[in-house]
Amino acid sequence: MDILPILSTLRRHKLTAWLLALEIALTCAIVCNAVFLIGQRLQRMDVPSGIAEHELVQIQLGYIGDTPDAKAQTQNDVAALQQMPGVKQVGLDRYLPFSLDGSSNTGIKLDPQQQQNTLDAGQYLGQNLLPTLGVRLVAGRNFEPGEYVDFDTAVAALNNGDMKGLPQTMIITQAIAERLWPGQEALGKTLYTESGIPFRVIGVIAVLARQNNLQQGAQYSTYWPIRMTSADGASYFIRCAPQHRESVLKAAVAKLKQLNPNRVVLKARTYDHARRAFFANDRAMAGMLVGVIVALLIVTALGIVGLASFWVAQRRRMIGVRRALGATRGDILHYFQTENFLLATIGIALGMVLAYGINLFLMMHYELPRLPAIYFPVGAIALWSIGQLAVLGPALRAAAVPPVVATRSV
């Protein structure tokens, strides 16, 4: 295919040709960045929690009036829940990974004299957490009953500066262990909280995501042997088979109300529901981006169809003359296809530069990483194919122009 005649024709429609190239460039740049943003969202939504997500339900209660003996009440509740059919494990905690309700976090140091924290980690308190959540220990052991401290005792001890009331041991995630002691055994080592309180590491768990602040290290989580009651704001977490979740939830709520009617159910939901809610905004944003990409490609394709149709209509005589001089239908078809390919290539080249620029702008304002090179060919192929698809109709119409047109005057 000879490119030179196409170029010389395009030179006669400089403005229109540049506009089309510009449109393709803008679309290419936006599509590249939008696809990248979608990838970022999907990656964020895909963070592993490390817990048995599909087997957990949560019930949070609020008390009406006084809570005379929250500890005994909680023990009663747990014992009763454990007796229920279908219930495998029962635990208590304030928050689980990916929580919209709030979070509890702590600074961790290697040396109590350090002024800046080494890292910031999520904090899990509560009893019987590991078996309930299905979190896997990779080294060491779970807490023994004697290691637990009551929540109110721990708070009082912290405020009085009395170290004896505080727990001495902690379980950390592998991510923390590798950050603090790269390549070494973490078991038995001592770490310090923000305020310099020492804890001995007795167990390492494979994966446990923190409650929120994921950007500060999604897998930086710690587990403290502090016993909570439902009056401290903790929820009951029940583990059961996935297909029994709804029935167990209903029965457990009824049971808890029967045990003490003087309370209100604040939350009763499956963990899946909670996780979906946490990432709902990301899902909505990804959906919107997909919508924008589709709309952009459609608008660009329609623009190409419009301009190509116009050019075909304008060049009917020229096409007729070429056909009369011996050009085949295929030649005419290829002519318009090549023309579109050339314009798309110019547009894509411009678009790449623009895409890079937009990415730099986004990096400055929105904490995004650099656009990986893989997105450039994706955008290029998308626009080349859209261009070829869009031009096919008008090009076929051009190819159908009979040679006799050349002999007719208007």
Partner 1 sequence: MLGYYFDLALRSLRRNKVLTALMVLAIALGIGASMTTLTVLHVLSGDPLPGRSSTLYYAQVDPRDMNGYLPGKSQPMYQVSWIDGMNLLRAKRADRQALMTGGLVVVQRHNTMLDPFYEAARYTTGDFFPMFGVPLEYGHAWSASDDEAHARVAVISATLNGKLFGGTDSTGQTLRLSGAEFRIVGVLGNWHPNPQFYDLLRKSYDENEGVYVPLSSSQDVGMHHDGSVDCWGKGGTGINPDHASRCAWLQFWVQLDKPAEAAAYKTFLIHYSEQQKALGRFQRPPNVQLRDVMQWLDYNQVVPDDVRLQTWLAFGFLLVCLVNTVGLMLAKFMRRAGELGVRRALGASKRSLFAQLLVESGVVGLAGGIGGLLLALLGLWLVRRQPAEYAPLAHLDPAMLLATFLLALGASLLAGLLPAWRACQIAPALQLKSN
In the list 9, 40, 76, 117, the residue contacting partner 1 (rule: CB under 8 A) is 117
Q: What count of Cα atoms within 13 Å lies in the side-chain half-sphere of residue 37?
A: 25
Which H or E element spans position 17? helix 14-45
Among residue numbers 164 through 223, which ones bind partner 1 (CB under 8 A)? 194-195, 197
User: CA-to-CA distance for 111 and 90, rounded, in angstroms?
Assistant: 36
The helix/strand/coil state of 1 is coil
Distance CA 119, CA 109 (A): 7
Single residue of 10, 27, 224, 256 touching partner 1 by CB under 8 A: 27
Nearest to 209 by CA among 98, 102, 107, 103: 98
User: Closest CB to partner 1 among 195 and 243?
Assistant: 195
Q: Which is nearer to partner 1, 65 or 188 (CB)?
A: 65
Site map (CB under 8 A) of partner 1, residues 314-343, x = contact: x-----------------------------
Specify whether the CB–CB gap between 234 and 71 falls below 8 A.
Answer: no
Sole residue written with tokens 């909505």 = 284
Please state the closest distance from residue 358 (CB atom) to partner 1, in A: 8
Region of 84-92, 175-183, 309-317, 373-381 interacting with partner 1 (CB under 8 A)? 309-317
CA dihedral angle for residue 112, residue 116, residue 121, residue 124, rounded to 10 degrees: 40
Task: Tell me which residues in 276-305 interact with partner 1 (CB under 8 A).
Answer: 277, 280-281, 284-285, 288-289, 292, 295-296, 299-300, 302-303, 305
Tokens 């159910």 correspond to 265
Separation of alpha carbons 160 and 166, rounded Å? 11
- Nearer to partner 1 by Cβ, of 309 and 338: the residue is 309
* DSSP label at residue 237: E
Q: Nearest approach, Cβ of 175 to partner 1 (angstroms)?
A: 22
From candidates 79, 313, 363, 400, binder to partner 1 by CB under 8 A: 313
State the minimum distance, in angstroms, from the CB of residue 281 to partner 1: 6
Closest CA to 108 of 19, 199, 214: 199
Beta bridge partners of 140: 203
What's the full length of the chain, in residues? 410
CB of 151 to partner 1, least distance (A): 6
Binding residues for partner 1, rule: CB under 8 A, are 15-16, 19-20, 22-23, 26-27, 30, 34, 37, 62-66, 102, 107, 115-117, 151-152, 154-155, 158-159, 161, 194-195, 197, 232-233, 264, 266, 277, 280-281, 284-285, 288-289, 292, 295-296, 299-300, 302-303, 305-307, 309-311, 313-314, 362, 365-366, 410
